[in-house]
Chains A and B, each alone.
Chain A
Amino acid sequence: MTNSFRTPKSTGLCFAVVLSALLTGCAPSPTQDSGEGSKQQPATTETISTVQPAFRGSGTSVSLEFRAKEPPKDFKLPWPDATPAVGIETGKQGGRFTTVSFGEGPKTFNPITSNDASSAEIIGRMFDGLIGFNNETQEYFPQLLKEWYMENPKTWILRLRSGLKWSDGKPITADDIIFTMKLIYDPQIPNPARDSLQIGGKPIEMEKVDDLTVRAKLAAPTGVFHAIIGIAPIPKHIWEESYKSGTFIQTMNINVAPETIVCSGPFKLKRYDSGERVVLDRNTNYYKYDKNGVQLPYLDELVFTYVPDQDAMLLRFQRGEADGVVQLKPESIPDMMNPEAQKKGNYKLYDLGPGEGGSYLWLNLKQGNNKNGKPYVNPVKEKWFQDEKFRKAIYLAMDRESVVRTELRGLAVLTASIESPANHFWYNPDVVKYPYDAKMANQLLDEAGFKDRDSDGVRKDRDGNKVSFTFITNKGNKVRERAATLMSQDLAKVGIDMRPQFIDFNALVTQTADTFEYEACCLGLTGGGIHPINSMNVYRSSGHTHLWNPRQEKPATPWESEIDHLADEFSTAIDIQKQQEIYYKIQLIVSQNVPIFPLWSSKIFVAVRNGFGNVKPTALSPQLLWNIEEIFVKR
Chain B
Amino acid sequence: MAKLIVKRLLQAIPLLLAISLVTFFLLFHSPGDYLGQLRLDPRISQEFLDREIRRLGLDKPWYIVWASWVWGIVRYGNFGHSFTYHIPVTQLIGARIVNTFILAFSSTLFAWVIALPLGMIAAIKKDKLVDRLASGLAFLGLSVPAVLLALLAVYVAARTGWFPTGGMRSNEYYELPSAWAKMKDVGYHLILPTFVLGASGIAIYTRQMRSNLLETLQADYVRTAMAKGVPRSKAIMKHALRNALNPLITLFGFAFSDLLSGAFIVENVMAWPGLGRTTIEAYSSKDMFVVAAAVLMAAAMLILGNLIADILLAVNDPRIRYD
Interface residues of A (CB under 8 A from B): 1-2, 11-18, 29-31, 98, 103-104, 107-108, 110, 113, 115-116, 187, 190, 192, 194-196, 249-250, 253-255, 271, 273-277, 279, 303, 305-309, 312, 315-316, 318-319, 321, 503-507, 509-511, 513-514, 525, 534-538, 543-545, 551
Contact = CB atoms under 8 A, between A and B. Distances in A.
Contact of B44 (A2, A253, A271, A275): A2
A250 B89 CA distance: 12
B276 to A, nearest CB: 10
Interface stretch (B194-202, B222-230, B267-275, B310-318): B267-275
A318 B158 contact: yes
Nearest to A318: B158
Contacts of A276: 167-169, 271, 273
A76 B268 CA distance: 51
A1 B171 CA distance: 27
Contacts of B284: 29-30, 505-506
B277 A255 contact: no
B48 A192 contact: yes
A192 B86 contact: no
A103 B41 CA distance: 20
A107 B37 contact: no
Contacts of B48: 190, 192, 194-195
Nearest to B96: A274
Interface string B77-99: 00000001111000100011001
Nearest to A16: B41
B86 A505 contact: no
Contact of B37 (A16, A104, A275, A544): A16
B46 interface: yes
21 contacts: A1-B41, A16-B37, A16-B40, A115-B38, A190-B52, A192-B48, A195-B47, A250-B86, A253-B86, A254-B85, A275-B96, A305-B167, A306-B271, A315-B154, A315-B166, A316-B165, A321-B171, A505-B36, A509-B39, A534-B42, A544-B39
A191 B13 CA distance: 39
B13 to A, nearest CB: 30
Which 7 pairs, one residue from A and one from B, show the smallest C-beta to C-beta distance? A506-B32, A275-B273, A16-B41, A507-B31, A537-B42, A509-B36, A30-B284
A307 B33 CA distance: 25
B272 to A, nearest CB: 8
Interface in B118-172: 154, 158, 161, 165-169, 171
A514 B32 CA distance: 9
A104 B161 CA distance: 25
B169 A545 contact: no
Interface in B29-60: 30-33, 36-49, 51-52, 55
A578 B316 CA distance: 86
Nearest to B33: A506
B53 to A, nearest CB: 11
A104 B285 CA distance: 12
Chain A interface mostly: loop
B250 interface: no
Question: Chain B interface: which size bin?
Answer: 35 or more
A254 B281 contact: no
B286 interface: yes
B113 to A, nearest CB: 28
A254 B95 CA distance: 11
Interface in B244-285: 267-269, 271, 273-274, 277-278, 281, 284-285
A280 B91 CA distance: 22
B40 A509 contact: yes
A187 B37 CA distance: 20
B322 to A, nearest CB: 40
Contacts of A307: 166-167, 271
A536 B95 contact: no
Given A506-B33, A514-B39, A312 B154 contact: yes
B32 A14 contact: no
Contacts of A31: 37, 285
A113 B86 CA distance: 9
A319 B161 contact: yes
Interface centre among A14, A98, A255 (most CB of B within 10 A): A255
Contacts of B180: none
A217 B169 CA distance: 51
Contact of B87 (A253, A305, A535, A538): A253
Given A253-B85, A253-B86, A305-B171, A312 B277 contact: no
B174 interface: yes
Contact of A538 (B32, B42, B84, B91): B42
A104 B277 contact: yes
A303 B170 CA distance: 12
A544 B46 contact: yes
A506 B39 CA distance: 10
Contact of A308 (B36, B38, B95, B269): B269
